[in-house]
Structure formats: structure tokens, C-alpha cells
């Protein structure tokens, strides 16, 4: 029986199953970028192990003319290049979907599936016949299958050639063989395979001015634009590429032309304790400083975060979240550091969190975090995650306003001290809970103070007196209220029709949520959606919850951490909140959100009106 | 220990230094440590050294960790910014502060619990990185604030006040600093101000990682018979290899000594460190020999003091990182923000 054939144009998922370290990553990215060049949005994701060589790795590309950048789920075409994962890869293909595999060694029918379309190409044979060197055979095999896919999917070979040309510009030795390999793959497919298959890429105009960038690079660039001069870090997946990108951008953008000297300092510290210590010392001394880390690093940094909170020192921390607890899932994504950052360290603490949705917001929020840390004299967290940080994502171009200056917050100058202005390091003169600070070395006789993690009075004198302690703790709360007026406001996406249900989401859930709202509306379920972009929560968030009978809180962790924070800090009735939780380490999909919300809303709709009101 | 407030008025005839300050201007709050504590003598030596060096007090940043020793920055240089950070983490905070403003003088004060136990990692790495600082370790072999537990620098075989014998091998911070690349390494005794003040001055003048281990008896918990960090024990076993004189400029050197007994070490700031040898065979310019000498004498139960090693050509973390001369904390958006031009180019390259 012949399998049915999936038919789709510019709307399908292709997944590459490879072996880590085999050089597949650049070929796969070349494939994704070629589709972008054809004006069709793609959303690629690396699914990789905590390993350098040998373990399975996957690259999933969602081709989506409508621009749905969340993970879709399911696979329409599998490029199965890893015998280790054959069975699992085969099982993932949707009925009617396609399997592209290396047919050098004939496979018995029993190893295939009857309801899918198998496309064999003797890749190893072709490589062995063409190349002598084993490394070349491996690397060019990847380019050859990209060429074959171009034929199978009816892609524009010119776009691929153009990209190869850009990639190897000035490296003629590499350019030619790559172009040849791609062409060889394409020619073979056109001659021997049934081209095109039911899945096709057709030129469109849906990409526009959008850029294709990793969140970690964007955050690093935000630190450059936001004026960070000190970066202290300790390597940890998935955040290491933030510091590495910072170094790359600084070498291009922050070297003083005249002297050849650096307007930046990057220190790879001995551990996370030292990296946050350096950031704290630099912040205390008036330089803008940041660190990038992930959950285990936050655990280690907690002592210093408490010091920076209590001694009121600007600190910027980029937390690229991964699966926890403990070492957890180092190469998988989650939003599970919400509570451990919001309340990091012992004693009563609360910290400012920013939740970017994509690389563009990683750029903007990192620059903003440096301003907020100075303005509020406190730690500020940029809560990104592996899904945003380590995948190239299509987003709007980055923007900067050249008239923007840095907000260095309340810093008393030598002139003000000389003029006799009263300086109390922890004295709230403006009623916003934020006191003035001085940089060390400002004035010969005035403005010096002793910074400590112990309690003190308004003039920074050591004091364990109850009233002094309470006075200080209350001022810190007032400062946190001030933070509400400074952090990014939540963004509302109203449903097209009046809706009883609301949904709250944040960070990397954003693209899946947008798609889910569209699908829900298509099936007649209308949901108003609010994207929370920061903690502390503004009143708009509580008002939004109060305006709906039920509000779904969609998040990527097991324990509903944002919901907990909402109940705790926005004084929301927990009964009005329904959690939609996804936490298996893969990015949440629109399909999953739709399924969860549909199930609950269907159940709620059959309830008698009276009972629903009581809920 | 006293609760009396110090009078702010100075006697009008008090002598001033070249920058117009009296010695009193380098003092801090009244110490809250025990009467007779070695740490207070170290504070007095720091005050003396800064006054004699004509340093403006506000150009010094003093940082510490947690413990008795780490409280002392409150008791000297009252016009300087101070930072009492977290236990064992002064080195990282100081490294960050130093990166933010290379023009200040950085003084790190720590104790043996702070540096040899909880903070041994940070101690090691600040030495490795060559941060330009003076690191004073006030070493009494005991946890004072928590009432007399052994620290990691307590010698094997030494007896606690409660009669317990320490069986663990001690951490020798001086040898560690030498191995890890510190470019100025000294040991002294809080009771020997004549030796200590010039060593502090030399450390401040040194443009690199300068480390001074100062044995500083704890009168409350480690000054008894059987302790190897008591006043009596240290006086008896102190083996000074040299004496250091500090000269602000070469021209100032007038005293002459017999040939072969002195070494003049010019510093980056133009000052001269003159070492008078007490042990003729000791060579403070040779790191490996210094390590061996210390180990040999340690085995004999002797405490080698003096300037143990110096690299007169040392550089620091800023040199390694090739940073600009202007302190980072004085750079604004005009110097740091690349602006829209490069951003547009970057956007174009990401399509």
C-alpha cells in the first residue's frame, strides 16, 4: 500500500538527526538561512546533549510563512543521519510524512514504516567516491544532503549558493568545494529521486527587515550599548556565549582608536561566587558591571545577591535559565528560576526581574537593566532562557536612540558635598526610598562611608537597634514600590470578541502563545492575553486578573512559580488562576497550550452559571 | 576597648605631612577589639605608613571580609570608603573595585579564617591575577569572634585555650602567595612596628599583588602557653631575614652601609625600597630560593619574617587586560556606546 503524502507549502517541520561533533550544525544552519533568503520565516532549534562529540544532536526547523516562531511539535520530514537514534527518529514522523536517509547500506522493509514516504540516497557511497580524506567525507556529506533537500523541497539553489559565497568570502579554497558538494547533492536528487516531494518552499515576502540572531548575542550587545565595562563570569551552559559574545563585540566596538586600549575588562572568574563578587565590587566603585549565568550559578551567588540588596549596590545578572533542580537538564530549557531569583538570599529580600521574549528584548532589557541597577542601587535580573539564548531567532531589528544617555542614578558629586549637601548613605531625601551614594575617592573629607552587610542607620553607622533596622527595611520596600514605576509594563493582546478568560504568560512562551491565541480564536475560544515583562508587578496585572472569571497562567516549570509570585505579591485570589505548565525541557508549543486551555474551558463552560460565579 | 568617643579637635601644633594632613587624620573610629589585640597594632602601622607616604586618605579604598580582622578597616582611615563584604570574599570585591577605578589605592584586610579557610580560593586567585593591591592578612591562628576555634593556619601540635591539640597541617599563606605569583611577599609580626611599617609602605608603592602575612596574637583565645601564635612564642622564634627602608626618591638616600649588605629596588612610582640584609645568603629576588628557605626554616620551628620576595618589574591585572588609562567609572555614553551606525550595520549582517 502506498503511503499518503503530506502536502504543504511554506508550513512544515523538518528535523535533522545528527551526531554531535560531525560538523552538521553549520550545514543545517545554512539550510535554515536559505529559506529565510527566500522570504519565508523559519524558526530553528538546536536540541543538543551536554557533550562535545559522539552523542545524538538534533536540529529542528519550522518553516512558517505565517511567522509562528514557537516550536510546533511533530515532524513532517526527518533527515535521519544518526543510526543510534533511528528508531526514535522514525517514530516521530507524522503519518504521510517523509524520511530522508543514507541508503548506502540497504535497509530491510521492517526497519521502515509503511505509512511514511522513505527517500534513500547513498550519501556515504557518493562521498567515498568523491573524497579521499575521511574528515572531508564527513563534512561534505552534510552539504550534499542540503543540496539534495533543495531539490526535494523545490528550493532556490541560488539562495544557498549566495549564502555559501558570503560564508566563505575571501576563502576561495573552501568556497569552491562547498558549492560543488551542494550542486552534487542537488543534481543527484534531481536525477534519481522523485522531486519535489509534497512539502515545498515557495518564495514569499514574509521576512522583511527582520534579523536572525541568538538571544545571548543580543544580550551581550545590550551590555555593550548599555555601558557595561566590567564582565565577570564563570562558564556554564547555556549562558557562556553571553560573555563570549560580549568579548567579540567589545573587540570590535570598544577599543580606543588612539591608544589601542580596551574600554572593557572581562574576567573569567574562578567560580560564580567570585564573578558576582567582582560585579559587586565594580558596581560599588561606580562602573557598570554584569555577569551571565544559569540556575546553579544563581544558587552559588545568593549570598552576594543578599549583600548587594542590603548594602544597595547596582548589579546586573543575566540568567539564561535551563532545566533544574541541581544540575538538572543543562542543555534543555525551562523558566524555573523565577522564585529563586525573586527572593534570592537569606532574610527578607525582593529583586527586580525582567522577562525578555526574544533577542530584541534581550538587547533592550540588558541595556535597561544596567540603568535600573544604577537607578535603584540593587540587583536586577534579566531572565532569559536556553530557548531564546542559544537558538537563532527571527526578530525585529535592534534599535537605539542616539540621544539616550545612561541613568547613573543618585550619585552625590564632590561639588555637592563641598557645598554642604547633607549626605546620609541610607537617608531617603526624595521619598522614593532611594538614597544618594558617593563613589569612593570623591571628596577629601566628606561623603566617605563604610559599606557593610550588617544593619546600619541612615548615615551608614553600624546599628543593631530595632527602630533603625525596621526603618531601613521599610525604606527598601518603598524602593521596591518605586521599581514598579520604572520596569517595563505588561503588554495586553485583547481578543477580537469579549472574553471571560484571560491568559498570563512571559518570556520565551511568547511565540507559542501568539499562535495558540490564534488557534483558539479560530475554534471560537476567545482569550485576552497579558504578557508580564517584569517583577515587581504593576497594578495593571492585578486589574487584568480581577477583570476575568478565570486566568490561565502559562509557564515552563513544574511548580507554577509565576503564579506563586502573583498570589504572593499581587494579592490575587489563587482560585481565579489556572496553571498551564510545560516542563519537560522542550520549548512549550502552541498545540500544547491550545489543548490545555481547550480542555479546561470546555469543562468550565458546562458548569452551571451559579457554580462558576462562586469559583 | 572603650566606648568613649574620640575628640574631633586636633592639637594645633600637630605635625602635618606633605599633603597637609596630621597623623590623626588617618585614624578611624575607636576600635571595638579586645585590649592588647595584635590587630590594633596593625591598624596603627597602616595609619603610620599612609601618613608617612603622604597619601590623601580619601584616595584609599579599604576592603575586608568578615571576622575580627575584617572589622579593623573601620578603625583606620576614617575618610576613606570602606567595604566590609562577605566572609572570605574580599578578594573578588576588591578585584571588581580595582577594575572600576584604577587610580585609587586598594587595601585588602583579611584574617586567617577569612583567607585560609572559607576564602582560600579567592585568596589564591587574586594573587594569580596580579591585582594591584596591598593584602594584609592579620594571622592569629584562631577564630576570635566565634570564641576560639582553630583556624587553618594553626600549627600542627599547637594547643588551644581549652587544651585541645591541633592535628591538622597548617596552611602557609606566604608560601601559597609565592607559588601563585604574588609579586611582593612579606611576613611580619604585629608587635614589631619597626619592621611592619616599612613593609606596608613598600607594599603600597609596589604596582602589583603585594601580600603581607602579619602574625597577630589573639589575646583572648590564642596567647597562652602551647600556642605558636602567642606574643612570647613569636618573639622567641622570629627569624628576620632583612630590614626594609622606604625612600620616596633616590635622592633621599643618604645612609650608607657596607658593600653587599644592601639591595636598592626602584619602584614604578620613583620610590626606592632599600633592603638591609640580616641573613647575607637570603635572596629576595629569587622566588624558588625564597620558597625553599622558608620551608627549611619552618621545619626548624622558625618564623621567617621580612621582605621575602619582590619582583621589581611586576605589572598588574590592568596591564594584562590592556585597559584604558581613564578609570571606567568616569566613562559615559559618549565613550562607551557605539551608537546607531554600527547597530544598523550589524542588523544588515544578520539577514
Note the pLDDT of residue B258.
55
d(CA A72, CA A142): 25
Residue spans in chain A of domains classed CATH 3.40.50.970: 213-395
A402 by DSSP, 3-state: which? coil
Give the whole-angstrom CA distance, residue B72 versus residue B44.
10
Contact B155, B167 (CB under 8 A): no
Q: Is the pLDDT of residue A614 over 70?
A: no
- Contact between A514 and A392 under an 8 Å Cβ cutoff? The reply is no
Cα dihedral sign, A543-A549-A552-A558 = positive
ipTM over 0.85: yes
Classify residue B167 by burial, with Cβ atoms within 10 Å: 0-12, 13-18, 19+: exposed
Quick one: pLDDT at residue B104? 98
Q: Rounded to 5, what percent of chain A is helix, strand, coil?
A: 40, 20, 40
Q: So what's the pLDDT on residue A612?
A: 45
Provide the shortest C-alpha distance from residue B103 to chain A (in Å): 9
Q: Which of A226, A555, A163 is nearest to B336 (CA)?
A: A226
Q: Which residues of A touch B84 (CB under 8 A)?
A: 450-454
B61, B96, B331: which to substitute to probe chain A, counting the most A Cβ within 10 Å? B96
Contact flag B86-A450 (C-beta cutoff 8 Å) = no
Closest CA of chain A from B258, distance in Å: 43
Q: Tell me phi and psi for residue B186, to 5 degrees.
A: -140, 160
Q: What is the average pLDDT across A486-502? A: 96
Mode of pairing for the β-strands spanning B105-111 and B81-84: unpaired
- Phi then psi for residue A43, to 5 deg, are -135, 100
3-state secondary structure A343-383: CCCCCCCCCEEECCCCHHHHHHHHHHHHHHHHHHCCEEEEE
Distance from CA of A611 to the nearest CA of B (A): 54
- For residue B349, the distance in angstroms to the closest alpha carbon of chain A comes to 8
Contacts of A254 in chain B (CB under 8 A): 336, 338
Q: Which strands sit side by side in the sheet containing A93-102, from one edge to the other?
A: A42-47, A56-64, A11-19, A75-80, A93-102, A117-121
* pLDDT level of residue B1 (50, 70, 90 thresholds): very low
pLDDT (0 to 100) of residue B253: 53
**Which residue in B133, B113, B243, B118 sits closest to B182, CA to CA?**
B133
Chain A partners within 8 Å of B99 (Cβ): 229-230, 265, 267, 278, 281-282, 287, 289
Partners of residue A347 in chain B, C-beta under 8 Å = none
Q: How far is B347 from chain A (nearest CA, A)?
A: 6
Residues of B whose CB is below 8 A from A273 = 89, 92, 121-122
A7 to chain B nearest CA, in Å? Answer: 28
The verdict on a CB contact (< 8 Å) between B96 and A284 is yes
Q: For residue B319, give the 3-state DSSP assignment.
A: helix
> Are the beta carbons of A324 and A299 closer than 8 angstroms?
no
Residue B342 to chain A, least CA–CA distance (Å) = 8
Mean pLDDT of all residues in A341-345: 98
Q: Among A248, A505, A245, which residue's Cα sits nearest to residue A355? A: A505
Nearest CA in chain A to B340: A400
Cα Rg of chain B (Å, integer): 21
Residue B115 in grid coordinates: 583567607
Q: In terms of CA atoms, which chain B residue is nearest residue A443?
A: B58
Domain B23-335, CATH class in plain words: alpha beta
On the question of pLDDT at B322 being above 80, the answer is yes
- Fold of the CATH domain A491-614: Rossmann fold (3.40.50)
Cβ(A564)–Cβ(A537) under 8 Å? no
- Decide which of A226 and B298 is more confident: A226
Element (H, E) at B106: strand B105-111
Residues of A in contact with B95 (CB under 8 A): 232, 267, 274, 277-278, 281
Q: Per-residue confidence at A546, pLDDT binned at 50, 70, 90? A: very high
Q: Kindly indicate the confidence band of residue B246, based on its pLDDT and cuts at 50, 70 and 90.
A: confident
- The shortest C-alpha distance from A519 to chain B (Å) reads 29
By C-alpha distance, the chain B residue nearest A265 is B321
B256 band by pLDDT with thresholds 50, 70 and 90: low
Is A286 within 8 Å of B321 when comparing Cβ atoms?
no
pLDDT of residue A258 exceeding 80, the answer is yes
CB contacts of B336 in chain A (<8 Å) are 224, 227, 229, 254, 263, 406
> Cα–Cα distance between A217 and A593 in angstroms, integer?
29
Residue A127, number of CB atoms within 10 A of its CB? 22
- Chain-chain contact of B104 with A441 (C-beta, under 8 angstroms): yes
The DSSP symbol for B252 reads G
Strands A491-493 and A527-531: antiparallel
**Unique residue bearing C-alpha cell 576613606:** B80
Using an 8 Å CB-CB cutoff, list chain B residues near A399: 340, 343
By C-alpha distance, which of B135, B295, B131, B159 is closest to B222? B159
Residue of A nearest to B73 (CA): A450
| Contacts of A533 by beta carbon, 8 Å cutoff, 6+ apart | A354, A355, A356, A357, A361, A487, A488, A489, A490, A491, A506
**Chain B nearest C-alpha distance from A32 (Å):** 12
How far is it, in rounded angstroms, from Cα A393 to Cα A358?
7
Q: Give the pLDDT of residue B259.
A: 52
Q: How far apart are CA B290 and CA A418, in angstroms?
A: 50
- Phi and psi torsions of B277, nearest 5°: -75, 135
Facing residue for A441 by CB, picked from B99, B101, B343: B101
Check residue A611 and give its pLDDT.
Answer: 42
Beta-bridge partner residues of A393: A213
Burial A27-44 (b: 16+ CB within 10 A, else e): bbbbbbbbbbbbbbbbbb
Sign of torsion over alpha carbons A234, A235, A238, A244: positive
Residue spans in chain A of domains classed CATH 3.40.50.920:
491-614
List CB contacts (< 8 A) between A256 and chain B: 324
Angle (nearest 5°) at CA A42 between A24 and A10: 110
Residue B95 has pLDDT above 90, yes or no: yes
Q: Give Cβ neighbours of residue A205 (< 8 Å, ≥ 6 apart).
A: A39
Closest residue to B83, CB basis, from A213, A286, A451: A451
Q: Is the pLDDT of residue A532 over 90?
A: yes
pLDDT at B250: 61
Give the number of other CB atoms < 10 A from CB of residue A489. 14
Q: Which residues of B touch A278 (CB under 8 A)?
A: 92-93, 95-96, 99
Pairwise CA distance, residues A55 & A53, whole Å: 6
In sequence order, the 6+-apart residues with CB closer than 8 A to the CB of A520 are: A526, A527, A594, A597, A598
Comma-separated ranges of CATH 3.40.920.10 domains in chain A = 8-200
* Strand ranges (E), A103-188: 117-121
First-to-final CA distance of chain B? 70
Cβ contact (<8 Å) for B339 and A230?
Answer: no
- Round to whole Å and give the CA distance between A565 and A454: 28
Q: Which residues, in sequence order, are CB contacts of A240 under 8 Å at separation 6+? A: A233, A292
pLDDT at B182 over 80: yes
Among residues A403, A306, A300, which one has the least CA distance to residue A319?
A: A300
What pLDDT, on a 0 to 100 scale, did the predictor assign at position A49?
A: 82
**CATH architecture assigned to A8-200:** 3-Layer(aba) Sandwich (3.40)
- A-chain CB neighbours of B324 within 8 Å are 256, 259, 261-263
| Rounded CA separation A78/A100 (Å) | 6
CA end-to-end span of chain A? 54
CATH level 3 topology of A213-395: Rossmann fold (3.40.50)
Mutation for testing the A interface, residue in B64, B82, B100, B108 having most A CBs under 10 Å: B100
pLDDT of B6 reads 67
Q: Write out the three cell numbers for A482.
A: 518605586
Contacts of A547 (CB under 8 A, 6+ apart): A502
Residue to test with chain B: of A246, A452, A456, most B Cβ within 10 A: A452
**Interchain pair A211, B347: CB under 8 A:** yes
Give the C-alpha separation, A582 to A332, whole Å.
Answer: 12
Confidence of residue A603 (pLDDT cuts 50, 70, 90): confident
> Can you give the pLDDT at residue B99?
98
Asked if residue A609 has pLDDT above 60, the reply is no
pTM higher than 0.90: yes
What is the nearest CA distance from A413 to chain B, expressed in angstroms? 12
Contact state of B61 with A441 under an 8 Å Cβ cutoff: yes
pLDDT score at A606: 45
A-B C-beta contacts closer than 8 Å: 232
User: Average pLDDT for residues A540-561, to the nearest whole number?
Assistant: 97
How many helices (H) and strands (E) chain A has is answered by 20, 23
Would you call B93 and A280 a contact, using CB atoms and an 8 Å cutoff?
A: yes
Amino acid at each position: 500500500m502506498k503511503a499518503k503524502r503530506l502536502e504543504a507549502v511554506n508550513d512544515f517541520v523538518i528535523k535533522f538527526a545528527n551526531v554531535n561533533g560531525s560538523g552538521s550544525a553549520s550545514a543545517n544552519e545554512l539550510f535554515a538561512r536559505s529559506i529565510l533568503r527566500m522570504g519565508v520565516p523559519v524558526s530553528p532549534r538546536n536540541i543538543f546533549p551536554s557533550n562535545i562529540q559522539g552523542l545524538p544532536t538534533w536540529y529542528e526547523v519550522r518553516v512558517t510563512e505565517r511567522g509562528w516562531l514557537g516550536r510546533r511539535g511533530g515532524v513532517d520530514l526527518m533527515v535521519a543521519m544518526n543510526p543510534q537514534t533511528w528508531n526514535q527518529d522514525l517514530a516521530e514522523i507524522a503519518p504521510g510524512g517523509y524520511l530522508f536517509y543514507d541508503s548506502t547500506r540497504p535497509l530491510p522493509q521492517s526497519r521502515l514504516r509503511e505509512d511514511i514516504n522513505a527517500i534513500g540516497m547513498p550519501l556515504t557511497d557518493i562521498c567515498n567516491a568523491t573524497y579521499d580524506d575521511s574528515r572531508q567525507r564527513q563534512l561534505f556529506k552534510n552539504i550534499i544532503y542540503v543540496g539534495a533537500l533543495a531539490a526535494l523541497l523545490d528550493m532556490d539553489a541560488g539562495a544557498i549558493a549566495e549564502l555559501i559565497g558570503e560564508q566563505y568570502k575571501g576563502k576561495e579554497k573552501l568556497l569552491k568545494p562547498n558549492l560543488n558538494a551542494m550542486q552534487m547533492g542537488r543534481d543527484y536528487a534531481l536525477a534519481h529521486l522523485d522531486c519535489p516531494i509534497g512539502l515545498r518552499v515557495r518564495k514569499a515576502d514574509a521576512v522583511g527587515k527582520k534579523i536572525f540572531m541568538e538571544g545571548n548575542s543580543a544580550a551581550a550587545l545590550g551590555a555593550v550599548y548599555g555601558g557595561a565595562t566590567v564582565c565577570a563570569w564563570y562558564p556554564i551552559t547555556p549562558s557562556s556565549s553571553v560573555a563570549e559574545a560580549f568579548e567579540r563585540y567589545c573587540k570590535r566596538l570598544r577599543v580606543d582608536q588612539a591608544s589601542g586600549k580596551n574600554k572593557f575588562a572581562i574576567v573569567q572568574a574562578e567560580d560564580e561566587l567570585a564573578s558576582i563578587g567582582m560585579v559587586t565590587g565594580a558596581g560599588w566603585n561606580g562602573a557598570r558591571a554584569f555577569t551571565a549565568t544559569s540556575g546553579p550559578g544563581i544558587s552559588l551567588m545568593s549570598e552576594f545577591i543578599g549583600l548587594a540588596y542590603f548594602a544597595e549596590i547596582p548589579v546586573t545578572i543575566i540568567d539564561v535559565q535551563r532545566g533544574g533542580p541541581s544540575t538538572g537538564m543543562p542543555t534543555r530549557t525551562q523558566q524555573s528560576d523565577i522564585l529563586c531569583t525573586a527572593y534570592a538570599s537569606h532574610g527578607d529580600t525582593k529583586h527586580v526581574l525582567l522577562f525578555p521574549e526574544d533577542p530584541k528584548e534581550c538587547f533592550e532589557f540588558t541595556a535597561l537593566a544596567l540603568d535600573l541597577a544604577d537607578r535603584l542601587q540593587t540587583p536586577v535580573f534579566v531572565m532569559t532562557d536556553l530557548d531564546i539564548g542559544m537558538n537563532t531567532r527571527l526578530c525585529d531589528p535592534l534599535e537605539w536612540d542616539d540621544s539616550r544617555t545612561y541613568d547613573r542614578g543618585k550619585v552625590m558629586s564632590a561639588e555637592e558635598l563641598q557645598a554642604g549637601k547633607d549626605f546620609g548613605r541610607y537617608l531617603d531625601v526624595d521619598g522614593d526610598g532611594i538614597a544618594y551614594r558617593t563613589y569612593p575617592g570623591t571628596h577629601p573629607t566628606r561623603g566617605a562611608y563604610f559599606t557593610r552587610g550588617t544593619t546600619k542607620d541612615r548615615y551608614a553607622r553600624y546599628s543593631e537597634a530595632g527602630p533603625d533596622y525596621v526603618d531601613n527595611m521599610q525604606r527598601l520596600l518603598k524602593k521596591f514600590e518605586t521599581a514598579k514605576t520604572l520596569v517595563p509594563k505588561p503588554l495586553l493582546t485583547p481578543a477580537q470578541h469579549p472574553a471571560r478568560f484571560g491568559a498570563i504568560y512571559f518570556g520565551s512562551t511568547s511565540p507559542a502563545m501568539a499562535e495558540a491565541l490564534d488557534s483558539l480564536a479560530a475554534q471560537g475560544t476567545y482569550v485576552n492575553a497579558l504578557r508580564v515583562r517584569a517583577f515587581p508587578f504593576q497594578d495593571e496585572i492585578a486589574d487584568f486578573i480581577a477583570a476575568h472569571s478565570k486566568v490561565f497562567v502559562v509557564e515552563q516549570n513544574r511548580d507554577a512559580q509565576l503564579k506563586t509570585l502573583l498570589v504572593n505579591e499581587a494579592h490575587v485570589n489563587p482560585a481565579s488562576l489556572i496553571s498551564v505548565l510545560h516542563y519537560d525541557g522542550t520549548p512549550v508549543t502552541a498545540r500544547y497550550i491550545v489543548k490545555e486551555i481547550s480542555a479546561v474551558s470546555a469543562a468550565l463552560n458546562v458548569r452551571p452559571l451559579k457554580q462558576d460565579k462562586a469559583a | 576597648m572603650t566606648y568613649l568617643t574620640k575628640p574631633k579637635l586636633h592639637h594645633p601644633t600637630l605635625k602635618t605631612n606633605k599633603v597637609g594632613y596630621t597623623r590623626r587624620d588617618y585614624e578611624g573610629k575607636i576600635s571595638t577589639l579586645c585590649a592588647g589585640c595584635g590587630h590594633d597594632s596593625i591598624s596603627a602601622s597602616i595609619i603610620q605608613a599612609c601618613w608617612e607616604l603622604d597619601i590623601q586618605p580619601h584616595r584609599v579604598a579599604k576592603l575586608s571580609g568578615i571576622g575580627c580582622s575584617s572589622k579593623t578597616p573601620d578603625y583606620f582611615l576614617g575618610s576613606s570608603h570602606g567595604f566590609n563584604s562577605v566572609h572570605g570574599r574580599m578578594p573578588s570585591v576588591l578585584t571588581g573595585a580595582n577594575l572600576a577605578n584604577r587610580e585609587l589605592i586598594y587595601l585588602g584586610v583579611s584574617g586567617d579564617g577569612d583567607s585560609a579557610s572559607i576564602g582560600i580560593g579567592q585568596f589564591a586567585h587574586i594573587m594569580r591575577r596580579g591585582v594591584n593591591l596591598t593584602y594584609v592578612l592579620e594571622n592569629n591562628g584562631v577564630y576570635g569572634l566565634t570564641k576560639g576555634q582553630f583556624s587553618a593556619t594553626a600549627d600542627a601540635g599547637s594547643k588551644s585555650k581549652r587544651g585541645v591539640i591541633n592535628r591538622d597541617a597548617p596552611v602557609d599563606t606566604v608560601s601559597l602567595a609565592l607559588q601563585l605569583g604574588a609579586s611582593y611577599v612579606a611576613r611580619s609580626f604585629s608587635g614589631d612596628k619597626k619592621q611592619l611599617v616599612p613593609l606596608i609602605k613598600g607594599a603600597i608603592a609596589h604596582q602589583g599583588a603585594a601580600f603581607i602575612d602579619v602574625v597577630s596574637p589573639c589575646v583572648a583565645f590564642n596567647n597562652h602557653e602551647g600556642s605558636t601564635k602567642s606574643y612570647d612564642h613569636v618573639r622567641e622564634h622570629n627569624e628576620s631575614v632583612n630590614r626594609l627602608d622606604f625612600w620616596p626618591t633616590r635622592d633621599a638616600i643618604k645612609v650608607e652601609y657596607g658593600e653587599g649588605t644592601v639591595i636598592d629596588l626602584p619602584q614604578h612610582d620613583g620610590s626606592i625600597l632599600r633592603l638591609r640584609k640580616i641573613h647575607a645568603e637570603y635572596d629576595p629576588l629569587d622566588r624558588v630560593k625564597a620558597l625553599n628557605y622558608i620551608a627549611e626554616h619552618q621545619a626548624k620551628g622558625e618564623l621567617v619574617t621580612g621582605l621575602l620576595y619582590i619582583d621589581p618589574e611586576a605589572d598588574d591585572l590592568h596591564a594584562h587586560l590592556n585597559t584604558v588609562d581613564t578609570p571606567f567609572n568616569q566613562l559615559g555614553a559618549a565613550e562607551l556606546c557605539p551608537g546607531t551606525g554600527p547597530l544598523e550595520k550589524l542588523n544588515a549582517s544578520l539577514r
